[in-house]
Amino acid sequence: IGVGLVGFGLFFILFGMLLYFDSVLLAFGNILFLSGLVFIIGFRRTFTFFFQRPKLKGTSCFFGGVLIVLMRWPLLGMLLQAYGFIILFR
């Protein structure tokens, strides 16, 4: 279930970017991606991964980008999410 949710989430994010940053598709993709991640590695491990002390800057940028996409500013939100993703996984 988790891999399917992550796959659909990435598909909707890509499709939303191809359709000139459609905010509804991007928001749906973000929600599916994060819920799939929780299904794959578990709630506790997901929480501890995102909220480690050295990763708080990346986490705040990533979730801030998700929030901005949900508030219908898709380009700015995706840029902030990409920056947070780079900081989280470097």
Q: Where are the domains of the chain?
A: 1-49, 52-89
Predicted model pTM: 0.89
Write the pLDDT tens digit of every residue in 56-89: 999 999 999 999 999 999 999 999 999 999 999 8
Dihedral sign of CA atoms 41, 55, 33, 64 in order: positive
Per-residue pLDDT, 54: 93
Per-residue pLDDT, 25: 96
Beta carbons of 58 and 87 less than 8 angstroms apart:
yes
Kindly indicate the confidence band of residue 90, based on its pLDDT and cuts at 50, 70 and 90: confident
Kindly indicate the confidence band of residue 7, based on its pLDDT and cuts at 50, 70 and 90: very high
